[in-house]
Amino acid sequence: MSPRSFSTPLLRVHGISKNYGHHVALRSASFDLWPGEVLAIVGESGSGKTTLLNTIAARNRPDQGRVEFAVRDGGLQDIYAMSQAQQRLLARTDWGFVHQNPADGLRMDVSAGANVGERLMGLGHRHYGKLRAIATDWLERVEIDANRIDDTPQMFSGGMRQRLQIARNLVTQPRLVFMDEPTSGLDVSVQARLLDLLRQLNRNMQLAVVIVTHDLAVARLLAHRMVVMHRGAVVESGLTDQLLDDPQHPYTQLLVSSVLQP
């Protein structure tokens, strides 16, 4: 069975828990993610969304449970059983991580072109002209004017920075991207463009996405499936439309009814 076939999940999260001292940050969370699927993790601040994301992205070892990823050459593998070198290689080739604050994911004082090219240079690309061509292509794909290639992200607007961060992550054609509140902090029109872009990339690249958001509108627009978190536990999960239209858990009902209608 090839790992890319749709009969195997891309990521399998099984019963992961995480405590910070006496505080329970994450309580036995489980889910599967399939190739090309967008999964939204929603919940209020402090509900464990970001802990869950960091744990499945090999950034924060869980106290219990397993996180398995279908690597390109051979099935599901426990990411915490891998060596640090393997984890990091995975993180900068087959994965992407989009931070809420673009400054965390970008090198703010080097040019946009170098930001996009860094992963490739790390993989051994040594041709300046080709790196530049790839960077130009990617800037255009994320709707950044190609003549801004030598500008640093410090000179970019918030929306441009976020798109640059996405380009930097996608240049190695990853199969899975983790996103932590990628649209918060952007104004609504910029948000809409970014969401459009993400939908396009998801469709064209068969990109699986785990997106953490507190914005149910973002989840409805992007996500195929949702998990709702409350006090460190997954309280409900299912298809996005189903979950938003017919929430079962009291907390989900509260969450859905709290959305302001313009």
Partner 1 sequence: MNEPMLLAGTGETPMHETLAAGENFNFAYLDERTKRMIRRAILKAIAIPGYQVPFGSREMPLPYGWGTGGIQVTASVIGPLDVFKVIDQGADDTVNAINIRRFFERTTGVKITTHTSQATLIQTRHRIPEDPLTEGQVLVYQVPVPEPMQRLEPREAETRILHSLAEYGLMHVKLYEDIAKHGHIASTYDYPVMVNNRYIMSPSPIPKFDNPKMHLNPALQLFGAGREKRIYAVPPYTTVENLGFEDYPFEIQSWNVPCEICGATDTFLDEVITDDAGTRLHMCSDSNHCEARQNAGGVAP
Given the complex with partner 1, which of 96 and 247 has the nearer CB atom?
Answer: 96
Residue at 250: amino acid letter: P
How many alpha carbons fall within 13 Å on the CB side of residue 9? Answer: 15
What whole-number distance in Å separates Cα of residue 22 and Cα of residue 232?
A: 13
Asked if 197 contacts 169 with a C-beta cutoff of 8 angstroms, the reply is no
Does position 127 bind partner 1 by CB under 8 A? yes
Among positions 113, 174, 182, 247, the unique one binding partner 1 when judged by CB under 8 A: 113
- 104 near partner 1, judged by CB under 8 A: no
Q: Is 130 helix (H, G, I), strand (E, B) or coil?
A: helix
- Does 94 participate in binding partner 1 (rule CB under 8 A)? no
CB closer to partner 1 out of 40 and 164: 164
The binding track of 53-92 with respect to partner 1, each residue x by CB under 8 A or -, is: -------------------------------xx--x----
Query: Would strands 233-239 and 225-230 be described as parallel, antiparallel, or unpaired?
Result: antiparallel
Q: Is 126 exposed, middle or buried (0-12, 13-18, 19+ CB in 10 A)?
A: exposed
Nearer to partner 1, 85 or 260 (CB): 85
Residue of the chain from 67, 131, 160, 209 that contacts partner 1 (CB under 8 A): 131
Report if residue 20 touches partner 1, rule: CB under 8 A. Answer: no
Q: Among residues 43, 51, 46, which one has the least CA distance to residue 215?
A: 43
Collapsed DSSP state (helix, strand, coil) of residue 128: helix
Q: Quick one: which segment of 2-10, 37-45, 123-131, 137-145 binds partner 1 (CB under 8 A)?
A: 123-131
Shortest Cβ distance from residue 121 to partner 1 (Å)?
Answer: 4
How many other CB atoms are found less than 10 A from the CB of residue 235?
A: 18
The SS3 call for residue 24 is strand
Least Å distance, CB 64 to partner 1, is 26
List contacts with partner 1 (CB under 8 A).
Answer: 84-85, 88, 107, 110-111, 113-114, 117-123, 126-129, 131-132, 149-150
